Structure 1
Amino acid sequence: MKDQEKKRMNDSEYLNIMTYGKPTGTINVVPHPEDIIDVDPFVIATMKARINNESLENVYDLSDRAFDEIALMREKNKLKKIFGSKAQLQDAFSSIKSIKLAQEEMNFEEVDRELLSQYSFSISREKNVDEYDFYRSFLFNESLLFKSERGINMGRQHPFTILLEDYRMIHFEPIKITKEAIQMSISLQSLFKDRKLALVFDEFLTAFYKVNP
């Protein structure tokens, strides 16, 4: 008990330190100067590139500064719960119903699709990409396809060719049928009247979202 009391600092000793400074032998931690902490990441990346004899594009990218890697990894983990394999991902985009169910699952898992949409637009150098193709690249390290590369083999007579123009103009959204497209297309109107439009479109989606467009 007496030893513990010896180790304790009494009020007068504490007051003396507060008034006259730290006792001899105290380690004083000095932070790094602000100019070292706040070095532009671009400068650091440039030096790393030179040391490793790499091109700057392999080390530093605008998207690296604009997006939080931890946030992206968090979204990736959420998506992997839904799309465990490339086959599951392709199946999720193979019909109107499966796309809707996948979107509901993403909402349930609180996937930040807006963040992923912005990120995909950045890494594609502001070229429109399909949500499906981004997930293939983001989750499974596949080459990122642009929307302009999808449907290139569809002939003019194909009933869903009319959908491509609007599809390619809107970033991230999967291809879909619109009321305007039905009104402008005799083929789609005919399928709609025969109650075959959804069935035929599902068959089209299965083919459209094949690995090789």
Structure 2
Amino acid sequence: MVAMKIRDMKDNKSPGVDGIPPKLLFEIVEQICIPLATVFNLSLEEGIVPLEWKEANIIPLFKKGSRNKSENYRPVSLTSVICKLLERLIKDHLVDFLVSNKLINPSQHWFLKARSCLTNMLCFLEDVTKWVDEGSPVDIIYLDFKKAFDKVPHQRLLLKLKAHGLGNGMINWIEKWLCKYDLKTAYFDQHHCHQRSARQLYHSPYNQNDKKNSGILVMKCV
């Protein structure tokens, strides 16, 4: 599984604070997969996330408007590629666990196999067409949650995981993964990369659009 996940990664992705890029793992995949699997299993059994995996470089990407306003930048967190591998494995395990135990709401389409925004729209269109044909009034309200990952209550999420029978080691690992990150903001001028460090209590800097983090919101929707 570890070797497969390494091969599935894009080799042009940037490394985290540890400086290890995916391309390096590609080149030594046969030699590194078993040692990594051993480290991953120990991390999960003990419910411990190594401190080196809890560091992130935050790169502000300009969106539009004035470059002097912070709200016109989108923060992108660059974390350890090795930790990302384990995150993807956990995500797959978590989603498989939810699906096999029929714990996911049938109306959930996001980040599930054979489901997408398109299948969501098709199911919705079928329901609306049926109601219109029956002569029923149809009122529609669309909601969009801004920064949805940031709004997930961590303790409620962990209680749900425990209530649905997830192992203590996995729950402890996820709890450690969710907070206490050492973030460094990196910005560039013509010739240099500058960094500013901040050691505070932060929530996990997960990417809102990264599929490896989808298990968090899938679990919240159960």
Does the alignment reach a TM-score above 0.5? no
Q: Using CA pairs below 8 Å that are at least 6 residues apart, which structure has the higher relative contact order?
A: 2
TM-score (norm 1): 0.22
TM-score (norm 2): 0.21
Q: Which has the higher helix share?
A: 1
